[in-house]
Amino acid sequence: MRQYNRNVLTILLFEGFLGTGTMEWISQWTNDFHSNLWLVFAIYVSLLLGLGYLLSYLAQRIPETFDGCTMFDYWFGAKMGGLFNVLLMGALIVYAGKAMLLGVWIIHYSTLPYTPTLAIVVFGLLVPIQLAASGSGALLRFQIVAFWPCIAIAAVLLLLSFRTADLSNLLPVVPNIHVSVTHSFPRLLELLPGLFLLVVFLPLFRTQGLAQKDVVHSFIWASIAIVAWHVLNLLVVLSVFGSYETASLQWPVLEVIRIQKIPNIFLERLDLIFLIPMLTAVVSCVNLYMYSAHHIWSHYLSSRRRQGILFLSLAIIFLSQISSYVNNAMRVYDTMMGVFELLTFCLIPAMFFVAHHNAREASIK
């Protein structure tokens, strides 16, 4: 199919690595690490490139005739892989609920503070539900069509924000205190859920005829693009506000755009314009994670696809609503996601070992 090409996979991986695009992690990292933020970011880049490349390498070994669901059931077999797939589906649902909740908070903060959470969540699920029911073709078309206008608007507004920047705020660039890697690791996990999508989408593209070398090329270009995008956001926020003020902001990128004033033009509230790509990124994130969860559900319960969509929708609504009644619900979600990410990081070397063992046996024969 025409949608299953290298360019589409590159954009899809970029959107997965981007997540919600709300960039709330910038203020959290600045508050925790101060000048060491760049060192922690370098560790994140190393993990993204290393683990992602291993997954891309493993995806190359999956034949086009593979009729399974994810990498797990190809490398670990139907039973063990099925167990990991169920756990993966749970992690995807949790992250979709978290993404939807972040979108609700942004809307409450910027435009509609008194709108009920339930109303926003139900409205926000209309697109993901339709795409999950329509299949991968509809999902890919939506993600690609929404990508270019939104990335262009966001890039222009971010570059425009350098008008109020003071580059001296970026100093010192070199870390001045010791950073414990174990202390930074939980924060690193916040930016790595996109690796889950590689487990689902790379086999899907391989079974649709994408060449082996194109899988790696797509991952490399997506990784370069997301690192550049994160660096751009970091430079804009830190150069405008400095590290101390950045640490006190909840939505630092949105605040950067909000203070930009361009006289004598009709676009008075640039932050409202910036909400278009930001909320589109949130919806795209929910699309990818909900579709991936539904893809796993449909593989094992193909006769109950509609029930799967209903179950996923209710689960996301529940996760979004429960935060109103349970303190630190977001922290619980982060912990759940972190546990599965650690499990995934352990499974990647295991899959690589299985692939190496199979290749060695094949060479002996």
Is 80 exceeded by the pLDDT of residue 75? Answer: yes
> Which tops the pLDDT comparison, 180 or 75?
75
Considering only 17-31, 183-197, 229-243, 246-260, which range has the smallest mean pLDDT? 183-197
- Cα 137 to Cα 227, 295, 298, distances in angstroms: 28, 13, 16
> Which tops the pLDDT comparison, 32 or 155?
155
- Cα 218 to Cα 3, 155, 223, distances in angstroms: 14, 21, 8
- Cα 338 to Cα 49, 86, 334, 342, distances in angstroms: 19, 16, 6, 6
pLDDT of the residue at 153: 94
Rounded CA separation 332/129 (Å): 25
Is 70 exceeded by the pLDDT of residue 169? Answer: yes
Residues contacting residue 105 through CB under 8 Å, at least 6 positions apart:
none
Considering only 11-20, 171-180, 242-251, which range has the smallest mean pLDDT? 171-180
Q: pLDDT (tens digit, 9 = 90+) per residue, 268-322?
A: 678 888 999 999 999 999 999 999 999 999 988 877 888 889 999 999 999 888 8
Domains of the chain with CATH codes = 6-356 (1.20.1740.10)
pLDDT of the residue at 330: 77
Contact 294, 308 (CB under 8 A): yes
Averaged pLDDT of the chain: 86
Q: pLDDT (tens digit, 9 = 90+) per residue, 187-234?
A: 777 788 888 889 999 999 988 888 888 999 999 999 999 999 999 999
